Structure 1
């Protein structure tokens, strides 16, 4: 019986730990891999969220954000910074309306996109969400 109780307690702890991670939007240890297209919805955070983009040949890399608020994107600050594999800043853009746009000629390699920001004055979780658009041409 004691082992059964311990098993149930461990299972419940695992369920609550997973839910806590999803709710807080904690940054994973490794950057999230981005593919061409539209990302899943992400939470805006003042702590930069890191994304990894692999480019296989010289191309124009277009990265943009789309704020998810249903009413207005006013006073939603979001910033994107693109770094190369050596950590050099390649490009950046910031906007107070919940969008950024980076369009840059890049060589083959691995790039890191850092996204940070905040939805000033909005406790609504929907107002704190964005998607990323990735286009490699």
Structure 2
């Protein structure tokens, strides 16, 4: 393949973090011959060829854009949805246009999309773990000082 690629060629690779080490080194050799490589990924692994690539962050669409996508998709299927229903469907789609279209298709078929299909939530598990650890520390302080009230609270 490397012998048949001209220097003006661009290789587009989705899910680039799943590339094997051999392929990454092969791509690095191709980049030395002025072949352009475009890798897509959610996270930059910061190793191998990714260190020499320019990183471009793409912002997800705003809520207004998602609502417009929902409205256009609903109009395409002849659905008359109120603003209240569009807002409910928007919470199920998050900020993903493909999921927004899927939610409208499910609504058109009468399938009530109960579950939310995006994962844009705030993870509070570190706060919970820190709170539990602080209670454990209070317990050990109570044991060390002989203070029964701290020990019981911990």
The alignment's TM-score, normalised by the length of structure 1, stands at: 0.26
The alignment's TM-score, normalised by the length of structure 2, stands at: 0.23
Between structures 1 and 2, the one with greater strand share:
1
Between structures 1 and 2, the one with greater helix share:
2
The structure that has the greater radius of gyration is 2
